[in-house]
């Protein structure tokens, strides 16, 4: 299954390659104290509630890298 920013955050974090991409562009996301609340939502949705911590630029870079995984 192809991954993108529309994938659930929990699914991305459970995949080692995807998790590495998230950490590359958003250092510390996997250990953020509130990450558990976002695991069931698409990364694009989590970004909307991040208070600006996850920017559109970050999302674009993550999305490109995730899609490159195939």
Task: Please tell me the distance from the alpha carbon of residue 64 to that of residue 35, in angstroms, as a whole number.
Answer: 22
pLDDT for the residue numbered 18: 97
Q: In the numeric block, which tokens belong to residue 43?
A: 């990364």
What DSSP state is assigned to residue 26? S
pLDDT for the residue numbered 35: 87
* pLDDT grade for 1, boundaries at 50, 70 and 90: low
**What mean pLDDT is predicted for residues 59-65?**
97
| Digit-coded pLDDT (tens) for 15-43 | 999 999 999 999 999 998 888 899 999 99
pTM over 0.85: yes
Torsion angle, alpha carbons of 70, 58, 30, 67, to 10:
0
Q: In the numeric block, which tokens belong to residue 60?
A: 């674009």
Domain boundaries defined on the chain: 9-69
Q: In the numeric block, which tokens belong to residue 50?
A: 């991040």
């Amino acid at each position: 299954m192809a991954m993108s920013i529309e994938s659930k955050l929990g699914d991305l974090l459970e995949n080692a390659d995807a998790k590495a991409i998230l950490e590359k562009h958003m250092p510390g996301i996997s250990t953020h104290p509130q990450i558990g609340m976002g695991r069931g939502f698409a990364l694009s949705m989590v970004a909307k509630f991040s208070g600006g911590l996850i920017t559109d630029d970050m999302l674009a870079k993550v999305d490109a890298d995730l899609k490159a995984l195939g």
